[in-house]
């Protein structure tokens, strides 16, 4: 449903009324996944060879993203039971191994969880020159805000869903704290306040298409990798500590970044819904930060101290992929060109 066709009679804006179309392939691996889904499943073993694939490249990341989406909204004209197709699951495992292996090689911190969390509260020297939110607050133009929102829509239109997978794998203080935060993310019982709905409202203010998955073909690999990390960690019980670390990194860094984004939206005249989304995160995530540090991580490590290195890995991997995405966006914007694979139409 387009922005223009979304009317008051539709009730609360719901970006996930329908499943998106399958994306366009970007290489051998993504072609294999997408063609198998179009064919209604595999007729036999799939040729799996990921050894030479770029773990952060478009082809592998799109293949992995497409397979993960079977566990969320699925795709138009794709059978729902393919979520558990054994051949596709085998391919997913190989893709995950390539991605996870690269992340472990790039993120080898030996810090304690307390130190890793403390570092998130300190902006390194020169951060304002490498931070997307600093750039958008200070120099960002409306077209750049629109690109940022389109890119982030792949996560924000399902915000909190990947993290919810960890709830059955926690207990005690960690579970109680996680559920308390997720309750807020899902609107505290009010459909109109679900954060994914608030982001759809933000997109409408920016004259963007609000349909779930609409900007998948435009999103570069750096965007897909940030979303794939959440799905990877959420879908594996063995990675529950890393998922908690990822969640902590998001919640701890959200208030200052959201404050800058709210100012950027006001400066550009983006609209009240665009401002509200980030204002909501400044207020809510300031509280969430304390809960995630004391209850979620504190509770998890009190009961399972052996997961501390996994928590740190989740924090480090999140920062690593976010830095890669930030570098992609800023490099393009400073040259006055689109950071997306397909530039957005001019806002009406």
Residue spans of the chain under pLDDT 70: 1-13, 125, 285, 348
pLDDT of residue 71: 97
pLDDT tens-digit profile of 228-268?
999 999 999 999 999 999 999 999 998 899 999 999 999 99
Nearest to 36 by CA among 95, 104, 88: 88
Model pLDDT, residue 129: 85
Q: How far apart are CA 59 and CA 53, in angstroms?
A: 8
Contact 224, 232 (CB under 8 A): no
pLDDT at 3: 43
- The DSSP letter of residue 297 is I
CB 310 within 8 A of CB 241: yes
How much is the pTM? Answer: 0.93
CA torsion 296-300-303-306 (nearest 10°) is -160
How far is residue 345's CA from residue 348's CA, in Å, rounded to a whole number?
9
CATH 1.20.910.10 spans which residues of the chain? 113-334
Q: 108-115 long-range contacts, Cβ below 8 Å, gap at least 24?
A: 109/312, 109/313, 109/316, 110/312, 111/312, 112/308, 112/312, 113/245, 113/297, 113/301, 113/308, 113/311, 113/312, 113/315
Contacts (Cβ under 8 Å, ≥6 apart) of 297: 113, 117, 174, 244, 245, 248, 311
Contact (Cβ atoms closer than 8 angstroms) between residue 263 and residue 254: no
What pLDDT, on a 0 to 100 scale, did the predictor assign at position 6? 43
Nearest-angstrom CA–CA distance, 39 and 35? 6
Distance in angstroms (rounded) separating the CA atoms of residues 294 and 301 = 10
pLDDT of residue 125: 66
The domain 113-334 having CATH identifier 1.20.910.10: the answer here is yes
The Cα 13–Cα 175 span in angstroms is: 30
Helices (H), the chain: 28-38, 58-69, 86-106, 113-120, 127-130, 132-138, 142-156, 161-164, 172-185, 195-205, 221-235, 240-268, 272-291, 298-303, 308-334
Please identify which residue in the block is written with the tokens 């979303």: 227
Other residues' Cβ atoms within 10 Å of the Cβ of residue 39: 9
């Amino acid at each position: 449903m387009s922005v223009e066709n979304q009317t008051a009679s539709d009730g609360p804006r719901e970006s996930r009324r329908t499943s998106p179309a399958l994306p366009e392939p970007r290489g051998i691996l993504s072609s294999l996944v997408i063609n198998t889904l179009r064919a209604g499943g595999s007729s036999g073993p799939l040729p799996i060879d990921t050894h030479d694939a770029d773990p952060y490249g478009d082809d592998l990341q799109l293949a992995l993203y497409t397979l993960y989406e079977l566990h969320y909204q699925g795709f138009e004209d794709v059978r729902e039971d393919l979520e558990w197709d054994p051949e596709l699951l085998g391919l997913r495992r190989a893709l995950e191994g390539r991605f996870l292996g690269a992340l472990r090689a790039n993120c080898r911190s030996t810090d304690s969880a307390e130190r890793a969390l403390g570092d998130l509260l300190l902006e390194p020297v020169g951060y304002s020159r490498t931070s997307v939110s600093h750039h958008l607050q200070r120099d960002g133009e409306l077209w750049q805000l629109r690109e940022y929102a389109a890119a982030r829509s792949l996560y924000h239109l399902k915000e909190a869903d990947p993290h919810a997978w960890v709830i059955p794998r926690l207990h005690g203080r960690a579970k109680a704290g996680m559920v308390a935060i997720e309750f807020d993310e899902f609107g505290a019982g009010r459909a109109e306040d679900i954060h994914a709905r608030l982001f759809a409202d933000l997109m409408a203010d920016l004259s963007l298409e609000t349909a779930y998955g609409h900007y998948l073909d435009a999103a570069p690999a750096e965007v897909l990798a940030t979303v794939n990390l959440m799905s990877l960690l959420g879908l594996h019980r063995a990675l529950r500590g890393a998922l908690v670390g990822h969640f902590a990194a998001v919640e701890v860094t959200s208030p200052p970044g959201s404050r800058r984004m709210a100012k950027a939206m006001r400066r550009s005249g983006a609209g009240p819904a665009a401002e509200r989304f980030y204002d909501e995160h400044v207020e809510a995530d300031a509280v969430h930060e304390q809960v995630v540090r004391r209850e979620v991580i504190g509770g998890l490590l009190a009961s399972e101290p052996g997961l501390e290195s996994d928590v740190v890995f989740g924090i480090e991997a999140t920062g690593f992929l976010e830095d890669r995405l930030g570098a992609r966006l800023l490099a393009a914007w400073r040259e006055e060109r689109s950071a997306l694979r397909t530039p957005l139409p001019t806002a009406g």
